[in-house]
Amino acid sequence: MPLSFVPVILGSHVLVAAAGLPSIDLQKLCHTSEQTMAFLSGEQTKTFDSCMSVEQQAREQLLKDWATYLPSDKALCMRTKDYLSSYVEWITCAEMARDLRRIRKKKNAPRAPG
């Protein structure tokens, strides 16, 4: 029975790769972050403004570079339904996927005799 959901899940990732950058509710994300930090530290923290600023910068960078990301990286990294999404996490994931490809390509490249 669980296998019947596989095409639906895979299909949703294809839609993310083909569509534009999905939206994240930054207010919700940053309020949750602030509440979590306050709970963990036992003190009221002021992380909301910092969170909003960093997330907005990451969003702008993702929009700027959107066309350069491979559809497979978009499908892997931009998962809006899996957990509390973050533009910072998405851009980090996409950059790591890109860098891993570069490392693998360099490692497999023929070396000059010397």
pLDDT at 14 over 50: no
Question: 57-74: per-residue pLDDT in tens?
Answer: 999 999 999 999 999 999
- Per the structure block, which two tokens stand in for 41? 């530290």
Query: What's the predicted TM-score (pTM) here?
Result: 0.71
* Alpha carbons 76 and 70: distance in angstroms, whole number: 10
What are the structure tokens assigned to 17, written together?
């790769």
For 4-39, the DSSP string reads GGHHHHHHHHHHHHHS-PPP--HHHHHHHHHHHHHH
- How many CB atoms neighbour CB 114 within 10 A? 3
Please state, in angstroms and rounded to a whole number, the distance separating the CA atoms of residues 57 and 42: 29
- For the chain, what is the mean pLDDT? 80
Predicted local distance difference test score (pLDDT) of residue 81: 82
Contacts of 76 (CB under 8 A, 6+ apart): 13, 93, 97
User: Residue 114: what pLDDT?
Assistant: 59
